[in-house]
Amino acid sequence: MSANLATEVLVVGAGPAGIAAATTAAEHGRNVLILDDNRKPGGQIWREASTTAAASTHAKDSKKHRALDRLQRSSAQILAGRTVFNASSAGFLEALQQTSSVSLIERIHFDHLILATGARERFLPFPGWTLPGVFGAGGLQALVRAGYPIAGKRVVVAGTGPLLLAVAAHLVHDGATVPTVAEQAPFSSLATFSASLWRQPSKLIQGARYRATLRSTSYRTGCWVVEAIPAKDTHQLSAVRLTDGKRTWTEPCDLLASGYHLVPNTEIAELLGCAFASSFVLVDEQQRTSLPKIYCVGEPTGIAGLDAAIVQGEIAGLAVAGKPTSSLRARAQQERAFAKRLEHAFALREELRSLAKPDTIVCRCEDVPFARIQGHTNWADIKLQTRCGMGPCQGRVCGPAIEFILNCKPASVRQPLYPVPLSALCSADEPAPQVPNIPIPKFQNTEETV
Ligand SMILES: Cc1cc2nc3c(=O)[nH]c(=O)nc-3n(C[C@H](O)[C@H](O)[C@H](O)COP(=O)(O)OP(=O)(O)OC[C@H]3O[C@@H](n4cnc5c(N)ncnc54)[C@H](O)[C@@H]3O)c2cc1C
C-alpha cells in the first residue's frame, strides 16, 4: 500500500534540531511536516521516558518542555513511526510505516527539505564486545529510560566523549553503581578542553552537575577497555580488562556501557548528492546545503551537542520562511567552535586501532571476524569478499569502526537505506484505503498521541 502526501517544508528527524526548525518555520507561516522513526518527538537526548524515575528527571528538563510545548502550539504536523529509506532530488522522500498489521510506504513531496537526522554511537570491536551484558553507552541509557531495571547493577562506562559522563550520571541516578568511567582521551587534552569552557558557562555547570552525581566514581583519563570477560559457566559478562597503556587490570562488573563518541547520520544527504566537508554535510550560514532548497541541521553538520542543534534548527526554520537569521549567527559560530574543540579533545588514540584480535567479530550482522578483513584497503573489496556491511544495519555499526581501524570508508550509499519488506515495495503502487492525506492529525503516530 502507498500514500502520497505533500508539504511546503519537510523536516526529517524530530530531535532538538528538527523540532526547532519545524516550530520556527511553522510559527512564520510555513506549512510544515516532520517525520521521525521513533514513537514520539524528542530525538536521542529527549527520548521519552517510561519509568517513573526517568520521567521525573525529564520533568525537570525545562529546555525539553519549552521546545515540545512550542511545537505542540505551532501548526507543524508530525508523522511518527516513519523511517525514511529513499530520497530524490526531484523533490520527494519515501518513508516506511511498519506495525504488526501494516507495512505502508508513504511518498512525501516537498518544496523545502530540512535534514535533522542526528547521530549514532561509534562502536569499536575488542575481544568480548559482543557478549551479553555489553551495551552501547547511549543504547543502555535508552533501554533504562524504556524501563530496563538498572538499580543495584555494577556498570563500567568506557569509551570516549562527553556522552560517557551523561550516561554514567543517569545510571547512578537510577540506582546503578558505576565504579569507573574509562575515558580514552589523555588528561592533557581534557584539561585544555575544560579550560576552554569558560566561554560557555552552562556547559561548565552541566559538567559540574555530572561530577557531583559521580562523586563515588573514579573518572580515569587515558584509560580504555582491552577485553570483556565472560563468567566461566555462562556467556554473560563478568568483568572487563582495563589499561592505561602501562598497566592492565581487571574490574568486575555486571554490565559494560561502551561508546566511542558519535558519528553523524548522513545517509539521506549522501543519497541526495549534498556536498560534504570531511564526514559532515557542508552548509552555509543559513544551514543551506550545496543543493537548492535542501537544508541540514544538528549533528550531521558536526557533532556539537544540544545547544548547537537548537540554534541551527532555528536558523533553518527562519531561512525557509524567508526571514533574516543574522541575530543567531554569533551563537551558531560559538557552537561550531565548540564542535571543533570537542573533536580535537576526544580524538581516538592509535592504540584503539589494534584492539580487535583475528577472531573478534567486526560485522555482527554477517558474523565477519577481523581476520577476514585484515589486509584489505578498499571497502568495496571487503564487502564483496566477506559480506561485511551487507546485513540489516547496512554498515551503520561496522562501517565507522572499519573506517577507523583500516582507514577505508564505505564508498557509496544506495536506497533502500533501511530494510523494507518486499511486500511493501511490491504493493507500493496500490492506493492505500483509509489513509488520510493532509491535513494530518497532530502527533499522529503508530500507537498513541502525546
Ligand atoms: C544514543 C545517544 C544518546 C545520547 N544521549 C545524550 C544525553 O544523555 N545527553 C546529551 O547531552 N546528549 C546526548 N546525546 C547527544 C544528543 O543527541 C545531541 O547532542 C543532540 O541533542 C542532537 O540533536 P539532533 O536533533 O541533531 O539529533 P537527534 O536527537 O539524534 O535526533 C535525530 C532524529 O532523527 C531521527 N532519524 C534519523 N534518521 C531517520 C530516518 N531515516 N527516518 C526517520 N527518522 C530518522 C532519529 O531517530 C532521531 O529521532 C546522545 C546521542 C546519542 C546518539
Q: Does the beta carbon of 305 lie inside 6 Å of ligand 1?
A: yes
**DSSP tag of 301:** G
Rounded Cα–Cα distance for residues 12 and 183 (Å): 33
Task: Calculate the alpha carbon distances from 350 to 7, 202, 404 in Å.
Answer: 47, 32, 10
Query: Which residues, 6+ apart, have CB-to-CB distance to 306 below 8 Å?
Result: 16, 45, 63
Q: Does the beta carbon of 144 lie inside 6 Å of ligand 1?
A: no
Q: Does the beta carbon of 117 lie inside 6 Å of ligand 1?
A: yes
Q: Are residues 319 and 39 in contact, defined by beta-carbon separation less than 8 angstroms?
A: no
Residue 199, pLDDT score: 82
Q: Does the beta carbon of 229 lie inside 6 Å of ligand 1?
A: no
Task: Chunk the chain into consecutive blocks of 10 residues (it has 450) and report each block's average pLDDT, rounded to whole numbers.
Answer: 87 98 98 96 85 52 91 96 94 92 91 98 98 98 95 98 97 98 98 90 91 96 98 94 98 98 97 96 98 98 97 98 97 95 97 97 97 92 93 93 92 89 77 46 44
* Residue with CA at minimum distance from ligand 1 atom 21: 306
Q: Does the beta carbon of 35 lie inside 6 Å of ligand 1?
A: yes
Residue 439, pLDDT score: 44
Q: Does the beta carbon of 166 lie inside 6 Å of ligand 1?
A: yes
Residue 33, pLDDT score: 98
* Residue with CA at minimum distance from ligand 1 atom 49: 43
Q: Does the beta carbon of 259 lie inside 6 Å of ligand 1?
A: no
Q: Does the beta carbon of 20 lie inside 6 Å of ligand 1?
A: no
Task: Tell me the CA–centroid distance for residue 274 and ligand 1, in Å.
Answer: 21
Rounded Cα–Cα distance for residues 129 and 17 (Å): 32
Residue 226, pLDDT score: 98
Q: Are residues 313 and 20 in contact, defined by beta-carbon separation less than 8 angstroms?
A: yes
DSSP codes of every residue in 56-109: HHHHT-HHHHHHHHHHHHSS-EEEESEEEEEEETTTEEEEEEE-SS-EEEEEEE
Q: What is the pTM of this model?
A: 0.93
Distance of CA 39 to the CA centre of its chain: 16
Q: Are residues 429 and 2 in contact, defined by beta-carbon separation less than 8 angstroms?
A: yes
Using DSSP bridges, classify how beta strands 77-80 and 255-260 pair: parallel, antiparallel or unpaired. unpaired
Rounded Cα–Cα distance for residues 316 and 321 (Å): 9
Task: Tell me the CA–centroid distance for residue 43 and ligand 1, in Å.
Answer: 4
Q: Does the beta carbon of 366 lie inside 6 Å of ligand 1?
A: no
* Residue with CA at minimum distance from ligand 1 atom 12: 45
Rounded Cα–Cα distance for residues 286 and 319 (Å): 6
Q: Which helix (DSSP H) or strand (DSSP E) does residue 140 occupy?
A: helix 137-145
Rounded Cα–Cα distance for residues 450 and 441 (Å): 11
Read off the C-alpha cell for 94. Answer: 519515501
Q: Does the beta carbon of 165 lie inside 6 Å of ligand 1?
A: no
Q: Are residues 99 and 335 in contact, defined by beta-carbon separation less than 8 angstroms?
A: no
Return the number of other C-beta atoms located less than 10 Å from residue 426's C-beta.
9
* Residue with CA at minimum distance from ligand 1 atom 2: 138
- Which residue is listed with cell 519488506? 421
Q: Which atom of ligand 1 is nearest to the CA of 267?
A: 41
Cα torsion 276, 280, 285, 287: sign: positive
Q: 39, 117, 171, 271: which to mutate for ligand 1, most atoms within 8 A of CB?
A: 117
Q: Does the beta carbon of 300 lie inside 6 Å of ligand 1?
A: no
Residue 427, pLDDT score: 72
Read off the C-alpha cell for 67. Answer: 521546545
* Residue 399 backbone dihedrals phi, psi, to 5 degrees: -55, -55
Longest dimension (CA), the chain: 66
Closest alpha carbon to 132 in 230, 229, 236: 236
Cα torsion 135, 141, 146, 151: sign: positive
Rounded Cα–Cα distance for residues 114 and 294 (Å): 6
Using DSSP bridges, classify how beta strands 248-252 and 237-243 pair: parallel, antiparallel or unpaired. antiparallel
